[in-house]
Structure 1
Amino acid sequence: MRTAIFTGTFNPFTIGHADIVERALAIFDKVVIGIGFNPAKDSNSGVEERLAQIENVYKHEPRVMVEAYSDMAADLAKRHDAAAVVKGVRSVVDYEYERNQAEYNRLLGDGLETVLFFSRPELSALSSSGVRTLQMFGKDTTKFLP
């Protein structure tokens, strides 16, 4: 079974994230969504709440597992015997960040590969931080959430 991990803070988990999971499932047998804690990012909802929300999205998809983790992505990958990390890329800025993370994951994960999915054009401006900003101003964000 070929497993991939998809890591992030997912605050909130958007339709852009769901698109990456769907596309990864076309290549991998299983996707583990790893909700990591990153103190450098804002968090308006706890990890347990995000875990429950994402599990609810995939309650009918046995090939998706959701797990909170507080160590390195390479460690999460080792625990699940993952073949790769999957990530979404919206821009050159995302690409540069993910390229650096891929190198750390490769070195720490004994050759762990990273597979990048470029965002669909209609989703390229969508971000969790943008959705949080809209929510802060009381805007309806349901069309951005699965």
Structure 2
Amino acid sequence: MRRAVFPGSFDPVTLGHVDIIERALPLFDEIILAIGINADKKYAYPLEERVKFLKDTFQGEAKIKVDTYEGLTVDFCKEADASFILRGLRNSIDMEYEKTIGQANFKMSGIETVFLISSPGKSYISSTVVKDIKKNGGNFSHMVPEAVNK
């Protein structure tokens, strides 16, 4: 089985995430959307809400599972029997950052990282931008799935 883990904080899930996940579905038998838990990080949305956003967004899609984890992504991948890590790239800065992490992950575990480039019109969307717009009272509804807008 070709199983991939798409790790992230999903704080919140955005249409950029949805774009990558939907385009990756034909490539894998299963994709685990894995919410990493970092006790040192302050989140805009509680963990339970982020899990619900993902489950609601992808309800009815049998190839998608949602889980949480602490620690190294590669350790979670091994526990989940996943051979791939899925990552999205918006720009060259993402590429450099994700390449370094992907190479380190491969060296530690032999787990391959698969990169998908964001679709045109989605590369400006990030959870950080959404959180900033939210914090300042702006409208971010065009950047997130309906589950987040509710």
Q: Same fold (TM over 0.5)?
A: yes
TM bin, normalised by shorter chain, reads over 0.9
Q: Look up the equivalent residue of 1:116 and give its one-letter code.
A: F
Alignment partner, residue 104 of structure 2: 104
Identify the range of structure 1 (99-108 vs 31-40) with the bigger mean alpha-carbon deviation.
Answer: 31-40
Residue aligned with 2:68, SS: strand
The yes-or-no answer on 1:26 pairing with 2:37 is: no
1:78 aligns with 2:53: no
1:55-110 alpha-carbon deviations (Å, 9 max, x no partner)? 1111211110011111111011111211210100111111111011101211222x
Shift of 1:136: 1.0
- Could you tell me the TM-score, scaled by structure 2's length? 0.91
Structure 1 counterpart of 2:17:
17
SS where residue 121 of structure 1 aligns?
A: coil
In structure 2, give the amino acid aligned to 1:53. Answer: F
Aligned length: 145
Structure 1 residue runs without a partner (length 5+): none
Task: Name the residue aligned to 2:114.
Answer: 115
Per the TM alignment, residue 51 of structure 1 is displaced from its structure 2 partner at its CA by 0.8
Q: Name the SS of the counterpart of 1:12 in structure 2.
A: coil
Partner residue, 1:46:
46
Which amino acid is 2:77 matched to?
A: A
Amino acid at match of 1:133: D
Q: CA deviation at 1:122?
A: 0.4
Distance 1:79 1:58 in 2: 23
Aligned to 1:64: 64
TM-score, normalization: structure 1?
0.93
Shift in Å, 1:40: 6.4
